[in-house]
Amino acid sequence: MIDYQEMLKRQQQGLALIETLDEDEKAIIKHYCSLSAEAVMQMAKSREAPTDEAVVNAFKNGLALGLQLMIEKGEVK
């Protein structure tokens, strides 16, 4: 089962890691995030999907990647 406190802890750890990067690396990540957001919105528009659905799906995928979630026996870990 997903543990909310564990998710927050991992998010804070990720943010702490990002802060260790030099400014050039931070700029690259910021640019990548901007491009990704633009692509998500374009895809939603082309599929005539609601914006909120596109944003939720993007966050869901980002959380799964960023938090390194796994599915074991049908349970999210």
| pLDDT of 69 above 70 | no
pLDDT in tens, 42-64: 989 999 999 889 888 888 877 77
pLDDT beyond 70 at 71: no
Q: Are 30 and 43 in contact (CB under 8 A)?
A: no
User: Is residue 74 scored above 70 in pLDDT?
Assistant: no
Q: Which residues contact 50 (CB under 8 A, 6 or more apart)?
A: 44
Residues in the chain: 77
- Indicate the Cα dihedral angle 60, 58, 62, 35, nearest 10°: 180
For residue range 16-52, what is the model confidence (pLDDT) as tens digits? 888 888 899 889 888 988 998 898 899 899 999 998 8
Query: Distance (Å, rounded) from C-alpha 25 to C-alpha 4?
Result: 29
State pTM to two decimals: 0.64
